[in-house]
Chains A and B, each alone.
Chain A
């Protein structure tokens, strides 16, 4: 399994939980979301 994907999924679940509890995100959380977006875009780009 892709370690990065596993890590990102775990972190995104944690961030989602934070948001469900109406807690604010940290800058680190935003960076993780950004990395997940960039990796998704890279994957999409490589398929084109």
Chain B
């Protein structure tokens, strides 16, 4: 046998191809691109391809082509083009052609980041050595095998308790080890004195009515002599934009307002954002585009928007959110009054804009000294910063730290520790009488969950022992698994008395629905480890809650040597 003397053949490592599925809209595509950008920095040797719907990906080509080696556009207009004449047959041919193109890639890892049913089915029909994220098996059962995807599925858009930005969750799912990166200071002095305003959102509950934006624009132009405003939006928002620009109150400022709604491509909009001093708007793709261009952002979050998940992913992003009891709601919740729209006074928005234009930042001291407590009482203001490569939102109004804020901090520490074995050092949250009581309630709930998980471990072990015995009794095994079903049911009931434990309960419901194994033994072993993991997270959270309560009791007295919550 001859040795291979060709050094190029010997040293060339195989190219690893990662495919990302992101079928959802513009904002999600930009956030996916932000996550993958960091992967490219850490692993330039990987080939990364994107599978996205053409109507969302093509207008964003100017962003996506810088991040991905290749984009496969799922063009449903093309796939369904002949369907009215030849029905399903031609659509299947179109889909097969699309899948055939993707099959030319040798995909090592397929990562589904969109979590829609369609993306899960798409993931199931694409060949890949490994699959991350949701997909369907041949029994039509949804499978999610990796823990970060399970957490995303259990907590994102489920309630107010997910502590992670969507981009960070994407990074964790992909497996990117984030590190602190020094960001260069942005020189805003060279930019034009323009504020880009996007006063619209994909749903009515997420956007103010025109009148409120008229007030913001009026106050901003009146208070800031040299600035001008650029209103941007999509073609279907032109009429709404005219309700603002043609309002008689703004007549005297007409020359300082430019309405570009429906007149720009996304690439042109991006250029405008790059020239501007500030972006102000609701939760939408425009904020994410501003973040890409390092333009400071102020987001007004309303309705079902979760600031922790979708605040534009960059340093010093500001997010103004209402403290309305039902905020954030679910997109399907009925709401005729939109209380959260009334809870954010327009005066707060225009004051923040003025301060950002003049000083470039908002501090807690400025809020206390400059904004009327009458106006600030119903809002929360968050500012982003980066720690260990992940975005953190700090509440700038300390007295407004509510129980979801506290639980999010504790969950951030617990999830990072249990899933990724990483340590988050967050300061102790300050408690009020109300949040103190809620933490005490959570202790009781955690104790119940822990005890139930320990029972789950015990009965899983009984099943394993019974199977291993010389004469296994089917009746006994059935009895034990019935007990495990009861435990699962009882764990779900804890939610009623301890709603702040929803992320733990939902996460473990998904873990149990995705047990590994093709035999009773393997499934039971997997069940044992899942209950064990549930016990661990309950213990970690219990300690965190206890430490927070002790610190609260000590605040008036002794000083501690270490003041982070996970000591």
Instruction: Tell whether A pairs with B.
Output: yes
Q: Is the CB of A8 within 8 A of B76?
A: no
B549 to chain A, nearest CB (A): 47
- Bound: A31/B125 CA distance, A: 7
Query: Which of A33, A38, A39, A45 gathers the greatest number of chain B CB atoms within 10 Å?
Result: A38
Q: Is the CB of B121 within 8 A of A33?
A: yes
A37-B117, A42-B76 known; A24 and B83 CB under 8 Å? no
List the interface of chain A (C-beta within 8 A of B): 2-4, 6-8, 11, 15, 19, 24-28, 30-35, 37-39, 41-42, 45, 48
Contacts of A30 in B (CB 8 A): 121, 124-125, 136, 138
26 A-B residue pairs with Cβ-Cβ distance under 8 Å, sorted by A, are A3-B83, A3-B84, A3-B85, A24-B138, A24-B139, A25-B139, A25-B140, A26-B138, A28-B92, A30-B121, A30-B138, A31-B92, A31-B95, A31-B99, A31-B121, A33-B121, A33-B140, A34-B95, A34-B118, A34-B121, A35-B88, A35-B91, A37-B121, A38-B79, A39-B80, A42-B80
Interface string of B431-466 (1 = CB under 8 A from A): 000000000000000000000000000000000000
B109 to chain A, nearest CB (A): 20
Chain B interface, DSSP helix/strand/loop, else mixed: helix
- Bound: A8/B86 CA distance, A: 12
B140 to chain A, nearest CB (A): 6
- Bound: A19/B116 CA distance, A: 21
Contact of B122 with A by CB under 8 A: yes
Contacts of A39 in B (CB 8 A): 76, 80, 83, 91
Query: Which of B84, B88, B125, B140 gathers the greatest number of chain A CB atoms within 10 Å?
Result: B88
Chain A interface, DSSP helix/strand/loop, else mixed: helix
Question: Which residues of B (94-121) have their CB < 8 Å from a CB of A?
Answer: 95-96, 99, 116-118, 121
Contact of B87 with A by CB under 8 A: yes
- Bound: A24/B116 CA distance, A: 22
Shortest beta-carbon contacts, A-B, top 4: A7-B88, A4-B83, A37-B118, A34-B121
Contacts of B136 in A (CB 8 A): 30, 33
Which of B89, B118, B124, B140 has a CB less than 8 Å from the CB of A19? B140
- Bound: A33/B92 CA distance, A: 11
Q: Is the CB of A35 within 8 A of B140?
A: no
Interface string of B135-154 (1 = CB under 8 A from A): 01011100000000000000
Number of interface residues of B (CB under 8 A): 31
Q: Is the CB of B88 within 8 A of A32?
A: yes
- Bound: A31/B96 CA distance, A: 9
- Bound: A10/B139 CA distance, A: 19
Q: Which residue of A lies closest to B94 (CB)?
A: A35
Q: Which residue of B lies closest to A24 (CB)?
A: B138
A11-B88, A31-B92, A41-B118 known; A4 and B80 CB under 8 Å? yes
Q: Which residue of A lies closest to B85 (CB)?
A: A3
Q: Which residue of A lies closest to B84 (CB)?
A: A3
Q: Is the CB of A4 within 8 A of B87?
A: yes
- Bound: A10/B138 CA distance, A: 19
Q: Which residue of A lies closest to B55 (CB)?
A: A45
Interface string of B375-407 (1 = CB under 8 A from A): 000000000000000000000000000000000
B21 to chain A, nearest CB (A): 12
Q: Which residue of A lies closest to B124 (CB)?
A: A30
Q: Which residue of B lies closest to A8 (CB)?
A: B88
- Knowing that A31-B121, A39-B91, A41-B116 touch, tell me 18 more A-B residue pairs with CB under 8 angstroms: A3-B86, A3-B88, A4-B87, A4-B88, A4-B91, A6-B87, A19-B140, A30-B121, A30-B125, A31-B95, A31-B125, A34-B95, A34-B121, A34-B125, A35-B92, A35-B95, A39-B83, A42-B76
Contacts of B139 in A (CB 8 A): 19, 24-25
Q: Is the CB of A27 within 8 A of B88?
A: no
B79 to chain A, nearest CB (A): 7
Query: Which of B74, B80, B118 gathers the greatest number of chain A CB atoms within 10 Å?
Result: B118
A17 to chain B, nearest CB (A): 12
Q: Is the CB of B84 within 8 A of A4?
A: yes
Contacts of B95 in A (CB 8 A): 31, 34-35
Contacts of A34 in B (CB 8 A): 95, 118, 121-122, 125
Interface string of B54-87 (1 = CB under 8 A from A): 0100000000000000000010110110011111
- Bound: A41/B96 CA distance, A: 19
Question: Which residues of B (221-236) have their CB < 8 Å from a CB of A?
Answer: 236
- Bound: A6/B91 CA distance, A: 13
Contacts of B91 in A (CB 8 A): 4, 35, 39
A23 to chain B, nearest CB (A): 9
